[in-house]
Amino acid sequence: MMKKKSAYTVAVVGATGAVGTEMIQVLEERDFPVGELIPLASARSEGNEVTFRGETLHVKVLEHNSFEGVDVALFSAGAGISKEFGPIAVKAGAVVVDNSSAWRMDPKVPLVVPEVNVHALSGHQGLIANPNCSTIQMVVALKPLHDAVRIKRIIVTTFQSVSGTGKDAMEELVEQSRQLLSFGEAKVAVYPHQIAFNCLPHIDDFLPNGYTKEEMKMVNETRKILGELSLPITATTVRVPVFICHAESVNIETEQKLSANDARAILAAAPGIQVYDDPGRNLYPLPIDVAGTDAVFVGRVREDESVPNGLNVWIVADNLRKGAALNAVQIAEELIR
């Protein structure tokens, strides 16, 4: 995938954001062979510092000449930045792993979840897209079931944490909670409505078809990753007052019958998945337990009694890690393998 080296120069674009911070931490935790780490961000972050392997690094301002000598560039600074600077980084010789929506549906750009479609990396032209956080955890859990019995329809409802919006949203949840618990009025800035003690069935902008961009991302990205461009999928995405971890209630209809026990066995044997499913003991994945972990957790596996071949599953993952930073670093690991 890339020329083998003992150490690589890695740039993190958006290094001071929630995902960029996590990318740096994951690079260190997984002992990625970083020779030099270059933290990049906008001018407003100039002077900020990040820590990597015990060393304090000054954040540099992202500029057109920032990528000279860079081997891998991990982007998490929004689609506009990725559109402008991604091709510049590639032209300078870097391989870009982009966490924004900028390139995901470009037919020339692989959209990759290593546990699901690592083979797609072989055709990359310098740009690789990291899927949407809610898409990543769903396809990790559904791919082994799809391989076993062929999924013919997916219905998903997500319960997504505020960290998916960023640090400002996390701070807003803290402040609104404090305001309301002090019998004050919640001040709204990041979301169109109060998020504390509330649920918003609205993630990203609404489209003419009545769905949001987030919902259609799940539809279109899942089809591309699984290589099933006509697979029927419908999604409802909901923002909930949780700091970290996205949860999903997923209903699938399959071509062949699969019992709940067989589904659990298939999932337990698949890479990147932890089955946590014992309702009799009140055991099922919870965001407060999953936060800070790398696996996709699956529970509440049960047969859908309304159709002959259906299953319901509950999926939880840390959206900052597997849903973003970890998946990007795993892609980089595959590139240098």
CA distance 322 to 137: 7
Instruction: Report the length, in residues, of the chain.
Output: 337
Active site residue 245: no
CA distance 337 to 172: 41
CA distance 163 to 239: 10
Q: Cα–Cα distances in Å, from 59 out to 13, 46, 76, 227, 260? A: 10, 6, 14, 39, 49
Q: Which of 124, 133, 146, 245 is catalytic?
A: 133
Tokens encoding 183: 């019998």
Beta bridge partners of 51: 56
CA distance 134 to 138: 6
DSSP track, 301-326: EEE-TTSTTEEEEEEEE-TTIIIIIH
CA distance 298 to 250: 10
- Contact status, residue 332 vs residue 32, Cβ threshold 8 Å: yes
Catalytic residues: 133, 246
